[in-house]
Chains A and B, each alone.
Chain A
Amino acid sequence: QLQLQQSGPGLVKPSETLSLTCSVSGDSMISDVYWWGWIRQPPGKGLEWIGSFSSSGITYHNPSLKSRLAVSADTSENQFSLKVNSVTAADTAVYYCARHVYFPGYFDYWGQGALVTVSS
């Protein structure tokens, strides 16, 4: 059974960098079928796709976030990371990592979610 476990600070100061890691267990991240992605959900609001990448290094980002975004993977550790720089209160959200079946495609396994609050 695939599991995605998220970790990272729950509080980030404005203008600093938000960093989250997603550890994958139960299967290898290396695949021709599966991509890996990040989605966020501001409190009381809907879902917003952040970005997705393949194990071969192809990456797609939400254009509204692209300039502040960095997604990386360590396939030897079977984990991937998200960094969002220059954060503001608008970046306060529950962040989810997920397995992305094909691109474009759907998200079949999700992490537990991590609330990140941007506040001084």
Chain B
Amino acid sequence: QSVLTQPPSVSGAPGQRVTISCTGSRSNIGAGYDVNWYQQIPGKGPKVLIYASSNRPSGVPDRFSGSKSGTSASLAITGLQAEDEAHYYCQSFDTRVSESEVFGGGTRLTVL
């Protein structure tokens, strides 16, 4: 079981908006640690989409945005495109057992 909880799957039609949640606790997101988001297209390595909860690296379309509140974070994708079909992972830092980077279990996005 992951320390950060994500829905296993979400879906949306082209052009729609979808959100992916990442729920943590007081030992990670709730403690103020940043949340980062990665996209992994099948057969490829992960690519950072959002860092420090709401910042986009250069080259990432502004259709992708991130937010954080309390013990949770969200990734929003607007204007959904077929190429967005991938797995998405959140990542943060946890201090409950040891000081560790932790990933969510991942969410599969299907573009209908």
Contacts and interface: CB of A to CB of B under 8 A. Distances in A.
A48 B51 contact: no
A60 B104 contact: no
- Interface SS of A by simple majority: strand
Given A60-B100, A106-B52, A108-B48, A46 B34 contact: no
B84 to A, nearest CB: 19
A47 B101 CA distance: 11
A37 B102 CA distance: 13
Given A46-B106, A104-B33, A106-B91, A111 B100 contact: no
Interface residues of B, number: 27
A57 interface: no
A54 interface: no
Q: Is the interface on chain A under 10, 10 to 19, 20 to 34, or 35 or more residues?
A: 20 to 34
21 contacts: A39-B46, A46-B89, A46-B103, A46-B106, A47-B38, A47-B106, A49-B91, A52-B101, A60-B100, A60-B101, A63-B100, A66-B98, A96-B45, A104-B34, A105-B51, A106-B51, A107-B48, A108-B57, A110-B46, A110-B47, A113-B45
Interface of B: 2, 33-34, 36, 38, 40, 45-48, 51-52, 57, 89, 91-93, 97-106
Interface of A: 37, 39, 46-49, 52, 60, 62-63, 66, 96, 100-101, 103-108, 110-113
